Structures are given as structure tokens and as C-alpha cells.
Amino acid sequence: MKTFAIVGATGAVGVEVIQLLEKRNFPLKSLRLFSSARSAGKVMKFKGQDIVVEELKEDSFNGVEMAIFSAGGTVSKQFAPFAAKAGCIVIDNSSAWRMDPEVPLVVPEINAEALKSHKNIIANPNCTTIISLMALYPLHKAFGVKRVFAASYQAVSGTGAQAVEELRHQVDQIVKGEPVTKEVYPKQIAFNVIPRVDIFLENGYTKEEMKMQYEGGKIMSHPTFKASVTCVRVPVYRAHAIAINAEFERHVTPQAAREVLATAPGIKVNDDPATDGYPTPLEISGQNDCQVGRIRQDVAFENGLSLWVVGDQLLKGAALNAVQIAERLVA
């Protein structure tokens, strides 16, 4: 690969992508970094070299073979078509293209074969969807998942750097006995949980909550898949957790589920309640693999399991999944 680009290079996911390309020794000769005019001119490091961040423009992709976009849906909708027309393969982290029937929505461990049909734009799924499916899809292959009820516990870094700073600042205000100020979230996030991630839709769910059903069905090629989800923002800096109750077509036991998950790529079983063996966001932060624990027979479903899945939403939930897609395309 001669020239690779990152759009949104100065953001949280962009920084992770740069680090992953270096750590994983991704085969590229030249790296170009793009951002808005506000961040253009900033100098970033890659393999010991200084790279100046450029302002993103319509003609930025001449000579660029592949790009990871992590700058939000508006930027992706505007600039991805220019990149694709210039012959650049776009791997987009936003929600802009995910449900487009012409655009593959890919988790490499699940549906890498979908990459064969790309037309220079490939979508990276929602972070909570990816983390959930890392455990659900192997179980679906073995037992046939029908529907899930889930609650997510989502870290503030999923909102961005300002949200992380808001949590830190509010904790500091509370410790000092000062009035708490709010800018990013509608309610105080420190020592609290907020049952709202993204905007509310007409059906009462949020946009984030419906992604599990829509995106999950597309990724698993499972058009009848149903998911009722409540997404909750919690005062955690990094890594999302999801509590899932899943109903299957075929009989399933916790032990059979553990055996299936033990051989599944990208997920580790951490399930020993006697020794407090279960994953938490603090332990999973910075790790590439997701972890699953609390695997037990669901007492409300006849063929059901309850489980707890945790993953770093900046890595497998975003940057790592995008880089893995790029690696598959190069391979």
C-alpha cells in the first residue's frame, strides 16, 4: 500500500487508528492525516516521523488508496463520495452509510466475505453492536438467536473528549462542594447514570438503541432478528458493557455456550463467579479482545441465556475493527 489516509486524525478514534497502524505494522509507505480547518497544521507522530495534519478538501484523495474516516456522519456523507470517485477505498466509522444496501457493514470475524461486494465505501458498525455481536454471533451460528433484550453501560469517551473532561470536572466539583455544571450531557453524569444515548425516535427508543436490531440483522444476514435495547451512559471513562438476555431457536446450556465461545475469534471467556471471574470496563480498557462472563440459563426464556459482554469501544468498537477491515482488504 503506497498511501493511506485518516480523516478525523486528531480525534479519539483517529489517534487510536494511528497507534494501531504502527503497532500492527500495517503495510503502507505514506500516511496522510486530515482534519477540519481548526485542527489543520497540528503535528502528529507516526513511526518516529512528524506528520502535519492537513485540512480536508474535496480533492484530498488524489493518489490515496485507502482511508479510514472517523470524523462523524456529516463529514462522511460529504467527503466519502469524493474519495470513492478518486479510487480510494473508504472505511467509515460513522453511521452515515451503515444501512445503505450498497455498502457492506462489516465485523471481520463475522462477515468478512461481505467485503467482496464493496464499491469503495465500507461501513464500520456501531460500537455497542460490534461488542455485543462478538459474543452473540458465535452463539447464533450454534443455536440460532431469535431475539434479545439488552441494556448497555456505555463509557463517556463514546461521546468524545469533552465528555471525559466533563466527568472529571464534575467529580472535582463534587469533592470540593461546588455546584455541578453541565454542558455535554442533559443531566449530571458524575455518580449518576443517564438512560439516554443519542436522540429519541418516535417509537420512544433512541437512535443508538435501534442500531442493535438494524445493524445486527444486516451483519448476521438475519432479517428476522429482534432486539429491544436500553442504552445507558455511565460514569466510566472507557470501555462499554452490555447485559444481554437472548432467546434461541435450539436448546442451549451455559456449558455449551462456553464451549462455543472458547473457540470464537476476538472474544475471551471470563466466567468464574466463585472467584469473581467476570469482565469489567476497567480491566478491558486498552485490550483488543472483548470478554464475556456471567453466562447463565435465562429463567424467563425457554431456550435462553443471560450474559455480560465488555469491550473497549475505542478499539474493537471502532478503531481496531476499521484497521482489521483494512488488513483484510490488503491481504
Catalytic site positions: 127, 240
* Cβ(246)–Cβ(297) below 8 Å: no
Whether residue 88 contacts residue 26, with contact meaning beta carbons closer than 8 Å, is answered with: no
Q: Are 106 and 112 in contact (CB under 8 A)?
A: yes
d(Cα 280, Cα 264) in Å, to the nearest integer? 20
CA distance 87 to 305: 45
**What is the signed CA dihedral for 11, 84, 210, 12, rounded to 10 degrees?**
-10
CA distance 329 to 331: 5
Q: How far apart are CA 88 and CA 94, in angstroms?
A: 17
How many CA atoms within 13 Å lie on the side-chain side of 283?
A: 13
Distance CA 67, CA 82 (A): 12
Q: How far is residue 121's CA from residue 103's CA, in Å, rounded to a whole number?
A: 6
Measured torsion, CA atoms of residues 133, 233, 296, 281, in degrees rounded to the nearest 10: 80
Q: Residue 286 CA to chain centroid, in angstroms?
A: 13
**6 φ/ψ sector (left φ>0, alpha ψ -120 to 50, else beta):** beta
- Ramachandran angles phi, psi of 152, nearest 5°: -100, 150
Whether residue 156 contacts residue 237, with contact meaning beta carbons closer than 8 Å, is answered with yes
Q: Do 184 and 194 meet the contact criterion of CB atoms below 8 Å apart?
A: no
